[in-house]
Structure 1
């Protein structure tokens, strides 16, 4: 099987994801009044916001519920009205913390520096995960091909990938290096196409775990009201979520097992979600498996419970363990033969095993011509015959998908440096070929 490493284009999948409803009462948030009041006070203290509409955007609750929280804090003498109406903000009343409110905010900040968006209780988040499960995605062959962009793929590869992706189960892509395993992984992500709701943070046992990460998650739209707008739109869904593309987390040789645990910030006294939790509803790609400091067997062992039971076990700083849903398509990619890095038990737990081979000579030439056309390098029959009849026999005619891009880029670099028109000659083929491999020799020290 083969694939050309090329640019991916977005596929499209009809989304049937149900949006999380906006809370209509403070009880609907699932949080205690004390926690919400303290987050309100900390937010006002840290941001200096004084208008309910601005505070509403910061704590991600509807304006009426934010007003209700402000009124609650006023009855407890922690917030007071400034007596000033802001004409530029719809004649809103201004509010500020009292001395007692500032003292309470400082006390709350000493326990946790978290402020801003109200978190989602874990139990509420579990409900939303079921609404947008990656296992409910149904792709047809055209959608999967669209996600692969201009990759040159044999039909049997798509036939094998399709059931693997729509199952939402684990996938192992293996084969020689340079044949597009990473590109296929990215293509799967592009094919998913639809959007999900990612929580800004979740709450468990009074502890707050940040989930939304702008590096991982690509926000699709904002859901906040314009104070000057005639219609209110922010009740379309719960603002404690961010509407995002399905997440895609990609790790390589840098992956270590501690990246799959909660990260505790002792200064802020909050937690950062591990990578697999951030990937919920999307895909988690472990590239270059076998290049990590941890043995591949140990890395796969870490996924046994999540892959088999669709739940993961995390631990707080106190040692308390709790379970979170595991709803992620895990893709392992390796240049090693699976039998060399896994035992039989580990292989059984990876649902689909798909080999990605180098291209045939025919497909190699198609890829070469496509890359040359894209990079405006004129094809030369004499140079191509030299490449195929003289150079490739020296490596037993083993073709790889990275080679066309590599060879053509090398020839372009020479032409640019020597200030000559782009051209393909046997001499330039030789110079490019020499940079593709390192001659085996002894170097004296």
Structure 2
């Protein structure tokens, strides 16, 4: 793909010591003990992978808890572990692990302190992206778009600010949103979990975050250099969160698990460094104005306010390109103050007749459906006047797929006739009628 995006996002450096992690020793101690208790891992190399810490830092942590009498050496070398010594929890360590688990079930990867994560967000900000016209063309080459649309989209995406796309349904607003996502081609780093004053908030979500390793280590090399970054982070594609009519305001709050006594990050925190798409705005249970009001502070100040179960509120980074997509006219669903806070408003309209024919011909060629002049004249002169000759981008492929389905059912070669146009049209628009219930 021919694009110009931020080429070198600075990777979070590997911690060299326990102090470099930025975490308190009590939290690290408890997570280590809980991990050993829950996983029965006894070797530093295995614990290193589970805790996502370098081996030397894990060893430093094990030595620390060993001095406190919480861990003891097994006294034997582990089978298959070469010369590696094994360690296990002492009775005191088990008691401490159980006490820690009663406060929080979280174990495994060490979290990233919130302030350190905030610095990484700045280094990989979506507002640092430089996207060229060619990048957008490459990512949207399958769409037939008005020539001036990229003139509007390019600056909006490059600014990394909020965008409102509006217009009649079926004209590619969702496809354009996905094309913008595909144009963001570089990699960033998302924490597996973050720590705020001892509260662990899990961030990495395999459903939203797509892991990408740039290079693989070569086992034959004397020194491995690939993927040298803090493994408490995951290297991913810039994320995209897509929500539609199901979006509710509580989905933008921390999710507390009362059993595990841990938190899960809300959708907008998971989308940091990427795109948050609110599709079908106006179809949610919450009024659009209320949804926009929830975004005012994040959109203007690049920070969000979240609340713990205790009611304590705190700031988190908000670094997301928010794209609102709606079939309603903005003046119908927003007041002027809300519209002012959305930086770019782009109308996505349907094609004219020439554009419609271009899309129809392209789709027919792609689907191997022969064009028939008489059928096209019938479509344009007879059928479309019944709906005011209003064209939409989705209609050509809908009509062609309908005719293909009929041909395949009847065992006939693909062909186009006015009769098939009528049958396809009947499925695209339901005729007005009344009937008894």
1:346 aligns with 2:338: yes
Q: Deviations over 1:2-42 (max 9, x none)?
A: xxxxxxx8967352211111111111111011110110111
Q: Go from structure 1 to structure 2 and tell me whether the alpha carbon gap of 1:232 and 1:36 turns closer, same or farther (over 3 Å shift).
A: farther
Q: Are the equivalent residues in 2 in contact too, given 1:260–1:274 (CA < 8 A)?
A: yes
CA distance in 1, matches of 2:6, 2:159: 17
CA RMSD, Structure 1 to Structure 2 (Å): 1.8
CA distance in 1, matches of 2:215, 2:137: 32
Residue of structure 2 in register with 1:399 after alignment:
391
Q: Go from structure 1 to structure 2 and tell me whether the alpha carbon gap of 1:45 and 1:210 turns closer, same or farther (over 3 Å shift).
A: same
1:255 aligns with 2:247: yes
Residue of structure 2 in register with 1:271 after alignment:
263
- Please say which of residues 329-338 and 372-381 is displaced more in the overlay: 372-381
Unaligned runs of 5+ in 1: 1-8
CA distance in 2, matches of 1:364, 1:224: 47
Q: Are the equivalent residues in 1 in contact too, given 2:351–2:393 (CA < 8 A)?
A: yes
Q: Secondary structure at the match of 2:212?
A: strand
C-alpha deviation, 1:131, in angstroms: 0.2
C-alpha deviation, 1:195, in angstroms: 0.9
C-alpha deviation, 1:424, in angstroms: 1.3
Q: Are the equivalent residues in 2 in contact too, given 1:50–1:94 (CA < 8 A)?
A: yes
CA distance in 1, matches of 2:151, 2:317: 29
1:243 aligns with 2:235: yes
Q: Are the equivalent residues in 2 in contact too, given 1:310–1:326 (CA < 8 A)?
A: yes
CA distance in 2, matches of 1:222, 1:214: 18
How do 1:24-423 and structure 2 match up within 5 A?
Answer: 24-86=16-78, 88-221=80-213, 230-233=222-225, 236-423=228-415
Number of aligned residues: 437
Q: Secondary structure at the match of 1:89?
A: coil
Larger RCO of the pair (alpha carbons < 8 Å, separation 6+): 1
1:17 aligns with 2:9: yes
Q: Are the equivalent residues in 2 in contact too, given 1:172–1:332 (CA < 8 A)?
A: yes
CA distance in 1, matches of 2:418, 2:175: 30
Q: Go from structure 1 to structure 2 and tell me whether the alpha carbon gap of 1:241 and 1:129 turns closer, same or farther (over 3 Å shift).
A: same
Q: Are the equivalent residues in 2 in contact too, given 1:11–1:147 (CA < 8 A)?
A: no
CA distance in 2, matches of 1:165, 1:226: 38
C-alpha deviation, 1:88, in angstroms: 2.9
Q: Secondary structure at the match of 1:353?
A: strand
Q: Secondary structure at the match of 1:185?
A: helix
TM-score scaled by length of structure 1? 0.95
Q: Are the equivalent residues in 2 in contact too, given 1:209–1:270 (CA < 8 A)?
A: yes
C-alpha deviation, 1:113, in angstroms: 0.4
C-alpha deviation, 1:89, in angstroms: 3.0
Q: Are the equivalent residues in 2 in contact too, given 1:12–1:193 (CA < 8 A)?
A: no
Q: Are the equivalent residues in 2 in contact too, given 1:44–1:97 (CA < 8 A)?
A: yes
Q: Are the equivalent residues in 2 in contact too, given 1:216–1:248 (CA < 8 A)?
A: yes
Unaligned runs of 5+ in 2: none
CA distance in 1, matches of 2:228, 2:280: 41
CA distance in 2, matches of 1:317, 1:367: 53
TM-score scaled by length of structure 2? 0.96
Q: Deviations over 1:251-306 (max 9, x none)?
A: 00000000000010000000000000000000100000000000000000000000
CA distance in 2, matches of 1:44, 1:375: 58
Q: Go from structure 1 to structure 2 and tell me whether the alpha carbon gap of 1:172 and 1:382 turns closer, same or farther (over 3 Å shift).
A: same
Q: Are the equivalent residues in 1 in contact too, given 2:3–2:132 (CA < 8 A)?
A: no
Q: Are the equivalent residues in 1 in contact too, given 2:2–2:134 (CA < 8 A)?
A: no
Residue of structure 2 in register with 1:443 after alignment:
435
Q: Secondary structure at the match of 2:165?
A: strand
Q: Secondary structure at the match of 1:408?
A: helix
CA distance in 2, matches of 1:148, 1:77: 61
